A = this chain, B = another copy of it.
Amino acid sequence: MSIQIDRERLIETMETQADIGGTEDGGLHRLALSDADKAVRDWFLEAMEDAGLETRVDRMGNMFGRRSGTDSSADPVLLGSHLDSQPFGGIYDGALGVVAALECIRTFNDEGIETSHPIEIVNWTNEEGSRFQPAMQGSGVWTGELDLETEYNKTDAEGVRFEDELERIGYKGDVPAEPTTEYDSSLELHIEQGPKLENNEKDLGVVTGVVGLTWGAVTFYGAAEHTGTTPMHDRQDALVAAADFITAVRRLGGTLGKETVASVGRADVSPNSINIVPEEVTVTWGIRDPSDDVVEEGRERVLEEAAAIADREGVNYEWEDRARSSSIRFPERPVTAIGDAAQALGYDSLDVFSGAVHDAAKVGTVCDTAMVFSVSEDGKSHTEEEYTSWDDCYSAANTLANAVLNLAE
C-alpha cells in the first residue's frame, strides 16, 4: 500500500510556519524560547489539536501529539524534528521535519488510515543551541544524556535563564522530560545541509547513520616581541605555529579516511597587532568520520601534530578536548522502511551518513531510529540562502509518510 501526501498543503504549511519569525530576506530568525518560538509553538499546538492529536508538553518544552493505534499493546512510532532556527537561518532546517510529520498525520486522517501502532509527532526544544547551549537540549534531556536542572540553569548571552524563558512563553509543561512509554521506532526528516545529494543528482537521502566527532582546541604560547627589532631566529611566533597546525588539520582531512572531514573553524590571536609577534593563539579543531576508530586516530594525530609543531617553533602549547560524540549506525529496520518507501515511490535515493548531528542521534539511544534527508541546494544551511525546492520537500515528506505507514502498520 502506498499513499501520497497533499503537496499543496505541505507547501502552504511550510509557508505558514516560515512567516512566524520570518526575515525580510526570506530567512527565519526564530531562536529557542523567543517570542517567535512561542508564536510558532502556539500555531503548532493548535494544528496538532485540529488534527485530532492528543497533545502534551514536557518539562523541557518538548511538544508531543499522539494519534492512537488500533493495537493497545503496540508502542508508538515517533516522528518529528525542531521548530527553532539559527539566527537569520533558513526556513527548512528543522521546520520541514515537523511540518512533514504533521502532514503525515493529516494525510492518514484524510485517507481514513488506521495503524496498529500509535503515531506521535514531536517538536524538540532548542535543537540549534545558538541561544542556549548545548544544541539538541530538549532531546538531550529527554533521552537522559543531559540533566533537567542543569539545563534549567543555563543562561543566554543576556544572562536570561532557560527555565525562566520557558515559563515566560508558557511552555514549561507538566509531563516528565523523558520517554513515558516504550517507542517502537522513530523517524526524522531533515534537510541534508550538505551537497552530496545535489552533487549525485538524487531525490533524497536515506540516512544510515550519523558520524562520530571529536572537537578540541589547542593554544600555542610564544613571545610577544617587536616585529621590527626581533630577528627571525629569535622568535617564538604562536601564529606561525597555529598556521602550521591549520595546515596539518587540513592534510588530515584529506588523508585519514574517504569520508573524513577535518576543520579549524576558529583562530583567536593575541595581542593581534600588526607590529607585535603573536604571543598566544588558540585554534579549535574538529574531526568527523563514520568510523569512531578513524575519529580517534584523527584526534591522536592532531595531538601529535600540535606537539611536533610546538617543538619545531619553540613555543609551548596546551591541549583541550571540547566534545566527543560516537558515531551511530541506524538499525536496519527503520532504514529499510525509508529505503523501501523511496523505491516504491520511484524516487532515486542515496544512502548517506549524516555529517551533522541531529535530534535523531539522541533519540536513537532510546529506540530504533533513522532519518530521511531532503536535498539542500548548494549544501547551504544556517543562512537565509538555505533552499530546498518544493519538489524535494515533497519527495522526502512522501517517503517519510510511507515509511511511517510501513513501521506503524
Contacts and interface: CB of A to CB of B under 8 A. Distances in A.
Interface in A152-181: none
A195 B231 contact: yes
Contacts of A9: none
Contacts of A196: 229, 231
6 contacts: A227-B288, A228-B355, A229-B355, A229-B356, A239-B264, A265-B275
A211 B228 contact: yes
Nearest to A275: B265
A333 interface: no
A37 interface: no
A277 interface: yes
Given A192-B229, A246-B243, A265 B278 contact: yes
Nearest to A269: B267
A75 to B, nearest CB: 31
Contact of A247 (B232, B244, B267): B244
A276 interface: yes
Nearest to A258: B231
Contacts of A356: 226, 228-229
Interface string A192-211: 11111001000000000001
Interface residues of A, number: 63
A382 interface: yes
A237 to B, nearest CB: 7
A137 interface: no
Interface string A205-234: 000000101010000000011111111101
- How many copies the complex holds: the figure is 2
A143 interface: no
B274 A322 contact: yes
Contacts of A379: 225-226, 229-230, 234
Contact of A288 (B211, B228, B237): B228
A73 interface: no
Interface of A: 192-196, 199, 211, 213, 215, 224-232, 234, 237, 239-240, 242-247, 250, 253-254, 259-269, 272-278, 281, 284, 286, 288, 322, 354-357, 379-383
Contacts of A229: 192-196, 354-356, 379, 381
Contact of A230 (B195, B232, B242, B269): B195
Contact of A274 (B224, B234, B266): B266
Contact of A240 (B193, B250, B277, B278): B250
Given A265-B276, A275-B265, A357 B243 contact: no
Contacts of A322: 274
Nearest to A357: B228
A228 B357 CA distance: 8
A267 B199 CA distance: 33
Nearest to A247: B243
A277 B265 CA distance: 6
A278 to B, nearest CB: 6
A200 to B, nearest CB: 12
A62 to B, nearest CB: 23
A325 to B, nearest CB: 10
A61 to B, nearest CB: 23
Instruction: Identify the interface centre among A231, A245, A383: most chain B CB within 10 Å of its CB.
Output: A231
B237 A250 contact: yes
Contacts of A231: 194-196, 259, 261
A269 B266 contact: yes
Contacts of A276: 265, 382
Contacts of A281: 267
A227 B261 contact: yes
Contacts of A239: 246, 264-265, 267
